[in-house]
Amino acid sequence: MPKKETALQESSQTQPLTGEDIDFVSKLTEEAGHLALSMRDRLEISEKTSPEDQVTSADLAISRLFKERLQSRFRDDAVISEEDLDHALNHERKRIWLIDPIDGTQNYIMDHDDYCIMVGLLIDLEPSFGWVLAPQSGRLYYGGKGFGVKRRQTDCHPHAMQGKAGALPLGETLLEEPPPLPLNSSARVVMGTRDRRSNPWVKDLEKVDLVKTGSIGLKVALILEGEADVFAHLSGKLKTWDTAGPAALALGAGLDVGGLELDSLDFPLPETKQECTVIMGRKGALAWCRKHLQGPQSND
């Protein structure tokens, strides 16, 4: 919407994104989705730090695609991918792109739906704009503060959703801001598998209905679609490329973004690990989590 794009452009003293920039990155993200799908049956897989921490030839190819195209268009910006050998370069830049080529690599390897491609732009270390693409369904979410969030049904995987509930026609929709979360209500809480294991007490809480899905981007998408209320990560140790894109989307949709400790999400660059808890959810989610999710948290 033109008025929202104008608001986005006025939201920071650092040069913002134009409508053409947003369209460029949206199309680039769709191209990355096509690449992920086309490489699925001819993957080369290697270990990074452990047998559970794997990287595929598709992760690396998508990383190269984003690095080359974004750096070519935005020459003064830093562009950092999870798959970079060195993450400490150019963090002094005012605008920093953070790329997670495939969030949920294990699901991608197993050809499950729960993986996505995530792009986030930090302006002055604050989440400004984000893109989350689920290649298996073809759904692209993009947006940021002053712009809102749009869902575009792409043709990344045109046959994946045929005959399935939730299939959408090609096109674009401006998503509505979810309603506030009452402090004393029950909530559908999305948590990752490792975080649930580290905090087993959460499943026994009266006000919590746990919802399971894969990538952080898909967790936030569930909230945007009205299928969940809160994403909570209590154990710390997320990486900046895990949260930059989803946080920008959440802020664009008017959601709460912060943690049990803070009312905003810190990006402590040049460090890439976020030691804090991370919460994104309907307005009121921070207060709700501080009341209902304080507990014997693990130090793992």
pLDDT for the residue 12: 38
Range with the poorest average pLDDT among 3-12, 176-185, 233-242, 254-263: 3-12
Same fold, 2-174 and 187-292: no
Do residues 65 and 35 make contact, with C-beta atoms less than 8 angstroms apart?
yes
> Where exactly are the structural domains of the chain?
2-174, 187-292
Q: What is the DSSP string of 142-193?
A: EEETTTEEEEEE-SSSTTTTTTSTT---SEEEEPPPPPP--TTS-EEEE--H
Can you tell me the mean pLDDT for 59-68? 97
Question: pTM for the complete prediction?
Answer: 0.89
| Cα gap 117→35, rounded to integer Å | 11
Displacement of CA 2 from its chain's centroid (Å): 25
Judge contact between 31 and 125, C-beta under 8 A.
no
Class of domain 187-292: alpha beta
Confidence of residue 227 (pLDDT cuts 50, 70, 90): very high
Second CATH level (architecture) for the domain 2-174 = 2-Layer Sandwich (3.30)
